[in-house]
Structure 1
Amino acid sequence: MLNRVAVLSDIHGVLPALDAVLAEPEVSAADRIVLTGDITAGPQPTQVLDRLASLGDRVVWISGNADRELVEYRSGRRDSIPDPIAPWAAEQLRRDHIDLLDRLPQSISLPVRGLGKVLFCHATPRNDEEVVLVDSRLDRWLEVLSGVDTDIRAVVCGHTHMPFVRLVDGLLVINPGSIGMPYGRAGAHWALLGPGIELRSTTFDIEAAVLQVTQDSSYPEIAEWADYFLHARASDADALEGFAPRDGRSHAP
């Protein structure tokens, strides 16, 4: 049984945001650091992977759709990725990075004190790019969670870059938000589990981070990328409007 688990999701290759969270005392002291996917598709992909790998067995890795897409792109299984920065990020990765990402599971369960058995995944337990939101219909939530084992007491997912906690037919669902590409408010968002649930936000010097990322990354559009995402210029309303059609609500009666 793990006493404390820090959940870091959607880092998207932003090293200063990751470093700010890793410096948090609760993260340093956590029994495990669980990464719920979309780790490296961003401006500093190799630096982020090397930093996380240096932490050893304390880190539990889970693949996200963006991680899968980078592997597929580099292995010739796809010739494009919708996210403009992703093909560039894929080309930066070493062979050992590709092998690491290719081995990652889509989900994992861990026992956490106070919460019971917790299932960690990227988007939903059954798919790495499905969309469910804090205000998705209950029948949509029941659909995407229908295959979850009965002994699971909580599900942790990422993918939509906005933190929330909600109850679905007795099952707790937690989204820690995003470390590197937050929507709605700036900062690096993560969660601390055990014995309760804490949605945390780590503040750091955004302007210094923008400068660091811009100087460190060779992505051609890096100045615009860093300014937009590190300042969280997409509001939560913008994100919810953009994601909403993908959670099935447009087909609701």
Structure 2
Amino acid sequence: MNGRPSGEPGRVAVLSDIHGVLPALEAVLAEPDVAAAERIVLTGDIAAGPQPREVVELLRAQGDRVLWVAGNADRELVEIRRGERTRFPDAISPYAARQLTPGQVDFLDSLPTSLTLTVPGHGKVFFCHATPRDDEEIVLVDSRPARWTEVFADLDEDIRTVVCGHTHMPYARLAHGRLVVNPGSVGMPYGRPGAHWCLLGPGTDLRVTPYDIPAATARLIAECAYPDIADWAGYHLNARASDEDALEAFGPRDGRTRVSEPGEGRSRS
């Protein structure tokens, strides 16, 4: 595991799956509890979306208070930009990769795949994108106990809380005595609109920040040159994929039988 220990912070705001949606990120950063948090931890899939360059710039401007973890979509942007990937996970990823500066590509490539912090009320907390061992693996709120045994196999015994993202749906549950937290998605929520995030320490507070989605959609259309931005924003910002759609689609990747993809060809993790 690629963990990075640190000293004990105070409250931690966790932002995951921003997917290059600048208006949603701005709304979350304006939250008083995010502004007051000692640390902001990003659990991956930061830039793959309509405004990748602007999102990375804004987050880097927050300074050392922000701790970064790479997601599979961040890795894919680097691979696309460097000509190492010819099959694309979705239509917007090649566009997003082209918008990044060379320095941003190098920065995303340098990010760790996990980190460990001591958080009041939680002890040692392990932050990752999908699971502790893989940046694309699927676990869900209703994953089987045996599944959690698999994904926790290499985790240190003294880690009692695991925070992950990837599936864009918020939840908190116990699995083999460990608390597992998914903050949901800031930029591409499934189930209900709004920018989803989490505040840790000493409790676990799943939050959703409402923002003006019609205004954000209009802004993306005005500022983003992606050809299908109106359709993309209308679908993802309004959370057209329900939580039932997402669970049905992701279930097979958790060892169940595949039925369909949520918003086939649109939604991703």
Common fold: TM-score over 0.5: yes
Specify which of 117, 126, 129 is matched with residue 124 of structure 2.
Answer: 117
Specify which of 18, 27, 39 is matched with residue 11 of structure 1.
Answer: 18
RMSD after superposition: 0.9
Contact 2:191 2:242 in 1 (8 A): yes
1:210 matched to which residue of 2? 217
1:86 aligns with 2:93: yes
Identity rate, percent: 65
**CA drift at 1:82:** 1.5
* Structure 2 residue matching 1:153: 3-state secondary structure: strand
1-structure distance, mates of 2:255, 2:240:
26
Contact 2:116 2:124 in 1 (8 A): yes
Once the two structures are superposed, residues 20-69 of structure 1 have per-residue CA deviations (whole angstroms, 9 ceiling, x without a partner) of 00000000010100000000000001010000010000000000000000
Range with bigger deviation, 145-154 or 72-81: 72-81
Which ranges of 4 or more aligned residues in structure 1 deviate by more than 2 Å? Answer: none
**CA drift at 1:249:** 2.4
Contact 2:10 2:39 in 1 (8 A): no
What does residue range 1-253 of structure 1 map to in structure 2 within 5 Å? 1-250=8-257
**CA drift at 1:84:** 1.2
* Residues matched between the structures, number: 251
1:111 is matched by which residue type in structure 2?
A: T
1-structure distance, mates of 2:89, 2:33:
35
Q: Normalized against structure 2, the TM-score is what?
A: 0.92
Gaps of 5+ in 1: none
Once the two structures are superposed, residues 135-162 of structure 1 have per-residue CA deviations (whole angstroms, 9 ceiling, x without a partner) of 1111011101111101101000000000
2-structure distance, mates of 1:92, 1:188:
23
Contact 1:137 1:249 in 2 (8 A): no
2-structure distance, mates of 1:221, 1:250:
32
Gaps of 5+ in 2: 1-7, 259-269
Range with bigger deviation, 166-175 or 79-88: 79-88
**CA drift at 1:80:** 2.4
Once the two structures are superposed, residues 68-94 of structure 1 have per-residue CA deviations (whole angstroms, 9 ceiling, x without a partner) of 000011112111212110011001110
2:245 is matched by which residue type in structure 1?
A: D
**CA drift at 1:2:** 1.4
Once the two structures are superposed, residues 170-205 of structure 1 have per-residue CA deviations (whole angstroms, 9 ceiling, x without a partner) of 010000000000000000000000001000000011
1:82 is matched by which residue type in structure 2?
A: P
1-structure distance, mates of 2:82, 2:159:
35
Contact 1:80 1:87 in 2 (8 A): no
